[in-house]
Amino acid sequence: MPPTSLLPASAAAFAPRSSPTVVLSRVEQWLTLTLKRVNKVKRPLNNVGQHTRCLTEVLSHSNALWNLCSIMLPKAPESKLPKDENPLVDALFNYQLAHMEAYVVHVDMVSQNEVAFKLTPETIETLVDYHKEIYSVDTASKTWDWPEKEIQLKKLQEEFVQAANRFVYRTNATALEGMEEEGAGELLCGLADEAKAAIMGLFVPLLPPPPRIVDVVRSTPLVPSSTGPDEWWHHSPIQQSPSPVESWDVLPSSPSTTTTSDSHPNMWTNVSYSDMPLPSPTLSHCQPYSTATYSSPEFYECPTTLASAIPYLLPDMLVQHQCGAAAGMDGFIWADRYPDFALQYGTAM
């Protein structure tokens, strides 16, 4: 589509009607036949200049009005239209046929090979009245209310008035074949449907504002303002202490006391304490023990509290202290009693 500046001043909005501008480059046979058909008086049509003058005079006639299309418009807003079961009766009483009349403002058969039509003031007034009295009411009833709705509706009506006065329908120059006497005519070969679609495109719906996006307010996490130990203590989350467990639930399955779990829990099931190799006893600075002080039943009696007996009765503690046969001052031999003690300790467990 060529820019609007190529159109004459008569095609501008609110401009009065004047003679169209006609630009021809060569004589077309269909144009010669059309001009001879519409002219009552025979005129010479032998060159481009004669065709240009004849076409300009015909299209400048006051009756040279073209019917671009016909649109069925309702007589009242949809809420006020009476309803009838018979669609023919409903159409006759509720709708009216409006003819979209226009006149030619420009004919270019040199560069664009087109003809431009501008709506008549009567047609523009009909469209403006329909938009204000009927279309605006219907489109407002189909939208929800907001504070600026009336302002937007009034702005929509003002924009339509400007758009209707600026509207220029352009089509191929061969549309002039539909010209009749005194320059009047109508669009043929389906061009009327294209003109109707272009005119109905001027009716823009009333669009409500988009819904506002509500930001979700989230609580700001507490971030320590300093890296000192006091701030860490106040802002650090309180860690829950582990739930208390029974003493026998945390006993290791291996003789080692430095770990709380055994990576090989089944390693000690098939090994008896009697088969375990013991290191050779060495002398150590252990306190002397007397056989007279500890009797056999008192020594092997299980303590009342298992937790208090753990630091003293675990076999690996005995091995760690390396108390051997030479540790007893009165002849008490630990190496001889160690297998029996381990066996009793396992039974108590």
Which domain range does residue 292 map to? 253-259+271-348
Q: Give a yes or no: residue 230 inside a domain.
A: no
Q: Tell me: do 85 and 183 sit in the same domain.
A: yes
Q: Tell me: do 195 and 275 sit in the same domain.
A: no
Strand partners, 171: 115
Q: Tell me: do 177 and 302 sit in the same domain.
A: no
Q: Tell me: do 195 and 295 sit in the same domain.
A: no
Q: Tell me: do 10 and 110 sit in the same domain.
A: yes
Q: At what angle do helices 29-38 and 48-59 cross, to 10 degrees?
A: 50
Tell me: the pLDDT tens digits for 73-88?
Answer: 999 999 888 888 888 8
Q: Give a yes or no: residue 117 inside a domain.
A: yes
Q: Tell me: do 159 and 286 sit in the same domain.
A: no
Q: What is the pLDDT of residue 325?
A: 42
Q: Tell me: do 332 and 187 sit in the same domain.
A: no
Contact status, residue 107 vs residue 55, Cβ threshold 8 Å: yes
Q: What is the pLDDT of residue 221?
A: 63
Q: Give a yes or no: residue 111 inside a domain.
A: yes
Q: Give a yes or no: residue 30 inside a domain.
A: yes
Q: Give a yes or no: residue 323 inside a domain.
A: yes
Tell me: the pLDDT tens digits for 244-257?
Answer: 555 555 445 555 44
Lowest mean pLDDT among 84-88, 192-196, 340-344: 340-344
Q: Tell me: do 278 and 165 sit in the same domain.
A: no
Q: Tell me: do 335 and 194 sit in the same domain.
A: no
Q: Tell me: do 194 and 277 sit in the same domain.
A: no
Q: What is the mean pLDDT of residues 259-273?
A: 50
Q: What is the pLDDT of residue 224?
A: 55
In angstroms, rounded to a whole number, what is the distance separating the alpha carbons of residues 79 and 249? 83
Q: Tell me: do 284 and 196 sit in the same domain.
A: no
Q: Give a yes or no: residue 138 inside a domain.
A: yes
Comparing CA positions, the residue from 174, 176, 134, 136 lying closest to residue 155 is 136
Q: Give a yes or no: residue 34 inside a domain.
A: yes
Task: Report the number of distinct structural domains present in the chain.
Answer: 2
From 159, 179, 200, the end of a domain falls on: 200
Backbone angles phi, psi at 107, to 5 degrees: -130, 120
Q: What is the mean pLDDT of residues 327-341?
A: 47
Q: What is the pLDDT of residue 168?
A: 97
Lowest mean pLDDT among 8-17, 24-33, 320-329: 320-329
Q: Give a yes or no: residue 321 inside a domain.
A: yes
Q: What is the pLDDT of residue 213?
A: 73
pTM exceeds cut of 0.75: no
- Which residue would you say has higher pLDDT here, 118 or 290? 118
